[in-house]
Structure 1
């Protein structure tokens, strides 16, 4: 979809230089930037990413580290 947006000149210039540097079109750069921004700021996507990270961590749980962590947490002053 084509659309028109206003972008400050310095931002446009940086995006243009970066696009040439990585051999991509400005449209690709702006699209990727917007996609990343939305992923970072969408609560559902942030929660989903955190859940996936925690699942990965849980799968790799080390019993020694878990016991040591519990010991440290019990001694910590809350």
Structure 2
């Protein structure tokens, strides 16, 4: 689908240089960038929702389990890009 957007001149120049460096059309660069942006914001929403769920009704016993779980999760995701 074709669309028109307005962006600052310096951003356009940077996009043009990046597309040439990568050997892809500028429109493909914009599509990739937009897709990554949307994915990153989607992941943030998921994290926010999980934080809300896990923050509710935690008693003292649950805290130690939660700490172990969070530590394990952090170690397993240490090298993840998100």
Structure-1-length-normalised TM-score: 0.56
- Tell me which residue corresponds to 2:23: 23
Higher relative contact order (CA 8 A, sep 6+): 2
Matches within 5 A, 1:1-16: 1-16=1-16
Q: CA deviation at 1:32?
A: 0.4
Q: Secondary structure at the match of 1:34?
A: helix
**Unaligned stretches of 5+ residues in structure 2:** 49-72, 77-82
Tell me the distance in 2 between the aligned counterparts of 1:20 and 1:4. 20
Q: CA deviation at 1:8?
A: 0.5
Tell me the distance in 1 between the aligned counterparts of 2:25 and 2:3. 15
Structure-2-length-normalised TM-score: 0.53
Q: CA deviation at 1:18?
A: 0.6
Q: Secondary structure at the match of 2:36?
A: helix
The size of the alignment, in residue pairs, is 50
Larger Cα-atom Rg? 1
Extract structure 1 runs of 4+ deviating beyond 4 A. none
**Unaligned stretches of 5+ residues in structure 1:** 48-53, 58-78
Q: CA deviation at 1:14?
A: 0.2
